[in-house]
Amino acid sequence: MALVLEQALNGVQLGVMLFLLAAGLTLVFGIMGVINLAHGSLYMVGAYAAAFAAKLTGSFLLAIPAGLAAAALTGMAIELFVVRKLYARDHLDQVLATFGLILFFNQSIILLFGRQPMFVQIPPALSGAVDLGLFAYPVYRLCIIAAGLLTAGGLFWLIQRTRLGMLVRAGATHRDMVQALGVDIRLLYTIVFGLGALLAGFAGLMAGPLLSVQVGMGEQILILTFVVVVIGGLGSVAGAFWGALLVGVVDTGLRAFLPQLMRLMMNNSEADALAAGVSAMGIYLVMAIVLLVRPKGLFPGHA
């Protein structure tokens, strides 16, 4: 029971980080109709900016605004100088342009920081573990879960209860009408793109103390993020949240428990090899099942 609960928390922690990435991605695609393959690069930019600021100042607290600002400003610059020219273009043009941005950012990071990974220490105040009765769980991972859930709540409030959120929802369904009513649609798009980039940077800076901050880290998690968006439904923030939790729990559960189940039926080496392969494809099987039942995802944005 302790192991199940611990892995469930690990799955939720992975899920909330995937949500931060998927929310920005689904906002950009749902409102602007832009496929942004460089979204993972914004995750990397946030992680590197936070790691550099933490190394320079010795304070993780100061690294947080540095990572958020770097990701948001980079995202707004991408929208202003690259994506703005692609709104009326085919999706293939968007894919090629944003893939080129991936190469650009990877090489820029190498020039600035080198190829060696950067490591961020967990702040002393957040180190250690909390006794939850059956097991002890790291404080920092609990903080990630809490921060992700609070961010999700704030994002839902922003979209459902504020004027900006009203414009975002209107721009997603009636773009031409919003522009005809006098709203500066270009400014709205820049704000939305910057918000999505900020969420990606937030996920990156939180992942820094758990993972090594390295070149290409954005591409590794981008595929999972696209799976979340497809499962949740394009253009749906609620779908991104529940899809991210589903992917996080399923992926973590398969990697934690499938090898042990396989060892009951075959020798250890064969069981580990087979379990690794099945675990890697598990979330794609979930995606296929969801699409068979609900082709537009669990919570399609324009249902």
- Tokens 């950067």 locate to 118
Question: Angle at CA 301, nearest 5°, toward 166 and 33?
Answer: 85
Range of the domain at 129: 2-293
Long-range Cβ contact pairs of 2-7 (< 8 A, separation 24 or more):
2/134, 2/135, 3/135, 3/256, 5/132, 5/134, 5/135, 6/135, 6/137, 7/252, 7/253, 7/256, 7/257
Task: Give Cα separations from 93 to 37, 106, 184, 256 (angstroms).
Answer: 11, 20, 25, 40
Q: Which element (helix H / strand E) includes 129?
A: strand 129-131
What is the Rg, in whole angstroms, of the alpha carbon atoms belonging to the chain? Answer: 20
3-state secondary structure of 118: strand
What does the block give as tokens for 280? 């890697």
- Position 298 in a domain: no
- Position 251 in a domain: yes
pLDDT (0 to 100) of residue 290: 92
Give CA 262 to chain center in angstroms.
Answer: 31
Per-residue pLDDT of the chain (303 residues; tens, 9 = 90+): 788 888 889 999 999 999 999 888 888 876 777 888 999 999 999 999 999 999 998 888 889 999 999 999 999 999 999 988 888 788 888 899 999 999 999 999 999 998 888 888 888 888 888 888 888 889 999 999 999 899 989 988 988 888 888 887 777 667 778 778 887 878 888 888 999 999 999 999 999 888 889 998 988 888 889 899 999 887 788 888 999 999 999 999 888 888 888 888 887 778 778 888 888 888 999 999 999 999 888 887 654
Distance in angstroms (rounded) separating the CA atoms of residues 99 and 83 = 12
pLDDT (0 to 100) of residue 15: 92
Domain count, the chain: 1
Query: What CATH number is given to the structural domain containing 93?
Result: 1.10.3470
- Position 218 in a domain: yes
Q: Which element (helix H / strand E) includes 136?
A: strand 136-138
pLDDT (0 to 100) of residue 303: 47
pTM over 0.85: yes
- Position 303 in a domain: no
For residue 296, give the DSSP letter. T
Q: Which element (helix H / strand E) includes 264?
A: none
